[in-house]
């Protein structure tokens, strides 16, 4: 761990001695230079703010150094000397040291609260909400860092991305500590791990949900993706690992983590003999589920108001993680029961229509299968799914998603997700190629997402379930290089009520 100090300016020279920071100084003398913040974004640069020049995929931060210096930045963090008259800290990789340096500048905020990290392919956001509620029930002032929003003591702050950049993350954690937050739940994406965004962060516990195909556009292969997730489960990051051992990768991670000297709590909803925390007597209902959580043999009756067997897994993991982090399981049970929904996750749209409409974020083959299985008990009739795949992302998952959709729903309406710079017709062709494999499959292609949702709602008969998948809480659609206002929930509501002809445009500029 980096040595802690009280919050306040740090001498630039102190940054050179931090563990894991292999640095030397160049440029103007560093004497007397004090740092109060760190940024990689030249728009945030100014007096007291160290500007980190990070080479990125699209732009090289070194090119923005003159702008930062003009804005008053007193020093630079660089990979090569720049011809500017300010002190420069030179390191082999800015990305690698940004976390530890920002953590030091902000006086190691993660060491001053209980921080519970959640990683895995699916379930991070949901488990994050469950954990936050559990922490609150356990008497904590809470924080949440996740895909949908970032909460500081219950108040929403602008959510940047699932796992913020290292310098933004340390500043955010400092804000949390200063606001009196005592415990926080945080989604940790594989990108965040691979790009060292969480370096310099200390987790009280790290939780693993599951691993399946996703993000193969970013990681070279499934092994690299797995390795990124597994890296969180090391003593350098976490005091403790909480791992779903129903998942094969989870079993591997739990063995590796234990071998690396990390204390591991194993969690199983499917009777895995070695687990310390189990779920028994699971009853799944259309809107709520109940089960008995066995924590090292101690039984706790749990009710959750989220449908789907995967949410039993998420709740069990949240309970085990909270318990391991010192929350009384009795309080945890109350916290789990308090969560009545997660934005864009199996979110019900009810305008009094005689069928069920669910908006869900499922955008991997596995999560499409999970939600369709969860939707099945909700109907004696049919499931109609509206689904597409994002452009400029993992291409291999498209046909798999097409296949799952028609295999598990009576009718699929294939449509645009966020096509981005790709030809929507080509994306849809890949989706359809998977559907063709399934005997008796029924599907239609309608590129326009609003029209596709309209088609699904028109086709629905009393008792059916319409699942609108892929975009969940998103309030935009990325087409070409534009971000257009589009919200599946608003569109569905407008179509059901026939009220808003410009459906898809969410009031108040797209923020809900
Ligand atoms: N434990 C789970 N296993 C499989 N699928 C899940 C699980 N939890 C949630 N899902 C599905 O995956 C989608 C994404 O869930 P979310 O909680 O947002 O996870 P993440 O943040 O990891 O993307 C949900 O909409 C749901 O369909
Ligand atoms: Mg998420």
What residues are in contact with ligand 1 under a 6 Å CB criterion?
Answer: 122-126, 147, 187, 209-210, 310, 313-314, 345, 360-362, 366-367, 370-371, 472
8 A C-beta contact, residue 241 and residue 208? yes
Pocket test for ligand 1, best of 118, 123, 393 (most atoms within 8 A of CB): 123
Atom of ligand 1 nearest to the CA of 360: 25
Which ligand number lies closest to the CA of residue 121?
1
**Span from the CA of 367 to the centroid of ligand 1 (angstroms):** 6
Atom of ligand 1 nearest to the CA of 118: 22
Beta pairing, strands 356-360 & 347-348 = antiparallel
How many Å from the N-terminal Cα to the C-terminal Cα in the chain? 39
Tens of pLDDT, residue by residue, the chain (512 residues): 344 567 789 999 999 989 889 999 999 999 999 999 999 999 999 999 999 999 987 889 999 999 999 999 999 999 999 999 999 999 999 999 999 999 999 999 999 999 999 999 999 999 999 999 999 999 999 999 998 999 999 999 875 667 789 999 999 999 999 999 999 999 999 888 888 899 999 999 999 999 886 655 565 667 777 788 888 999 999 999 999 999 999 999 999 999 999 999 999 999 888 899 999 999 998 889 999 999 999 999 999 999 889 999 999 999 999 999 899 999 999 999 999 999 999 999 999 999 999 999 999 999 999 999 999 989 999 999 999 999 999 899 999 999 999 999 999 999 999 999 999 999 999 999 999 999 999 999 999 999 999 999 999 999 999 999 999 999 999 999 999 999 999 999 999 999 754 444 443 333 32
**Span from the CA of 155 to the centroid of ligand 2 (angstroms):** 19
What whole-number distance in Å separates Cα of residue 148 and Cα of residue 178? 23
**Span from the CA of 314 to the centroid of ligand 2 (angstroms):** 13
**Span from the CA of 450 to the centroid of ligand 2 (angstroms):** 24
**Span from the CA of 510 to the centroid of ligand 2 (angstroms):** 19
pTM of the model as a whole: 0.89
**Span from the CA of 410 to the centroid of ligand 1 (angstroms):** 22
| Three-state DSSP class for residue 115 | strand
**Span from the CA of 94 to the centroid of ligand 2 (angstroms):** 26
Helix (H) or strand (E) holding 386: strand 383-387
Pocket test for ligand 1, best of 188, 367, 378 (most atoms within 8 A of CB): 367
What whole-number distance in Å separates Cα of residue 305 and Cα of residue 216? 33
Pocket test for ligand 1, best of 122, 130, 310 (most atoms within 8 A of CB): 122
**Span from the CA of 235 to the centroid of ligand 1 (angstroms):** 27
Which ligand number lies closest to the CA of residue 473?
1
**Span from the CA of 208 to the centroid of ligand 2 (angstroms):** 13
Which ligand number lies closest to the CA of residue 385?
1
What whole-number distance in Å separates Cα of residue 97 and Cα of residue 92? 9
| Three-state DSSP class for residue 342 | strand
Q: Which of 465, 451, 512, 457 is nearest to 487 (CA)?
A: 512
Atom of ligand 1 nearest to the CA of 344: 25
Q: Whose CA is nearest to atom 27 of ligand 1?
A: 362
**Span from the CA of 47 to the centroid of ligand 2 (angstroms):** 35
The residue with tokens 């083959």 is 365
Q: How far is CA 20 from the centre of its chain?
A: 27
What whole-number distance in Å separates Cα of residue 362 and Cα of residue 212? 13
pLDDT per position as a tens digit, 442-477: 999 999 999 999 999 999 999 999 999 999 999 999
Atom of ligand 1 nearest to the CA of 120: 22
pLDDT per position as a tens digit, 193-243: 888 899 999 999 999 999 886 655 565 667 777 788 888 999 999 999 999
CA dihedral (194, 197, 202, 206) in degrees, to 10, reads -50
Instruction: Give, as one character, the DSSP assignment of residue 77.
Output: E
Pocket test for ligand 1, best of 120, 126, 364, 385 (most atoms within 8 A of CB): 126
Atom of ligand 1 nearest to the CA of 147: 21
Pocket test for ligand 1, best of 214, 370, 393, 489 (most atoms within 8 A of CB): 370
């Amino acid at each position: 761990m980096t040595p802690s100090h009280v919050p306040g300016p740090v001498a630039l020279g102190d940054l050179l001695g931090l563990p894991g920071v292999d640095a030397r100084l160049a440029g103007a003398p560093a004497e007397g230079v004090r740092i109060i913040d760190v940024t990689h974004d030249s728009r945030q640069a100014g007096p007291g703010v160290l500007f980190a020049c990070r080479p990125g995929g699209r732009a090289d931060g070194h090119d923005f150094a003159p702008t930062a210096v003009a804005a008053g930045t007193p020093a630079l963090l660089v990979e090569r000397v720049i011809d500017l008259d300010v002190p420069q800290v030179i390191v082999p990789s800015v990305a690698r040291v940004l976390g530890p340096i920002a953590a030091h500048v902000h006086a190691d905020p993660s060491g001053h609260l209980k921080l519970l990290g959640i990683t895995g392919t699916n379930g991070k956001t949901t488990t994050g909400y469950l954990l936050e509620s559990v922490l609150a029930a356990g008497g904590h002032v809470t924080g949440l860092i996740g895909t949908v929003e970032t909460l500081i003591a219950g108040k929403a702050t602008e959510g940047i991305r699932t796992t913020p950049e290292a310098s933004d993350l340390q500043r955010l954690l400092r804000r949390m500590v200063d606001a009196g937050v005592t415990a926080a739940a945080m989604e940790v994406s594989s990108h965040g791990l691979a790009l060292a965004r969480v370096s310099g962060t200390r987790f009280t516990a790290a939780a693993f949900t599951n691993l399946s195909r996703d993000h193969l556009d970013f990681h070279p292969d499934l092994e690299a993706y797995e390795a990124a997730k597994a890296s969180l489960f090391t003593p350098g990051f976490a005091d403790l690992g909480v791992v779903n051992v129903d998942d094969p990768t989870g079993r591997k991670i739990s063995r590796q983590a234990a071998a690396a000297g990390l204390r591991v709590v194993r969690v199983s909803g499917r009777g895995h003999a070695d687990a310390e925390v189990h779920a028994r007597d699971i009853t799944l209902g259309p809107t709520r589920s109940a089960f008995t959580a066995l924590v090292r043999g101690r039984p706790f009756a749990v009710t959750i108001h989220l449908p789907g067997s995967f949410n039993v897994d998420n709740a069990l993991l949240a309970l085990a993680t909270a318990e391991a982090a010192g929350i009384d399981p009795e309080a945890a049970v109350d916290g789990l029961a308090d969560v009545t929904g997660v934005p864009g996750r199996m979110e019900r749209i009810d305008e009094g229509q005689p069928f069920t409409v669910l908006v869900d974020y499922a955008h991997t083959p596995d999560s499409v299968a999970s939600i369709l299985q969860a939707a099945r008990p909700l109907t004696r009739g049919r499931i109609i799914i509206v689904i597409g795949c994002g452009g400029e992302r993992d291409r291999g998952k498209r046909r798999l998603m097409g296949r799952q959709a028609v295999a598990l729903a009576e009718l699929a309406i294939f449509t645009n997700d966020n096509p981005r710079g790709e030809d929507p017709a080509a994306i849809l062709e890949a989706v359809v190629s998977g559907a063709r494999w399934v005997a008796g499959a029924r599907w239609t292609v309608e590129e326009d997402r609003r029209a596709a949702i309209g088609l699904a709602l028109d086709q629905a008969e009393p008792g059916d379930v319409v699942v609108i998948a892929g975009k969940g809480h998103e309030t935009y659609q990325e087409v070409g290089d534009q971000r257009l206002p589009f919200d599946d929930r608003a569109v569905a509501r407008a179509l059901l009520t026939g009220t808003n002809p410009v459906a898809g445009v969410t009031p108040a500029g797209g923020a809900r």
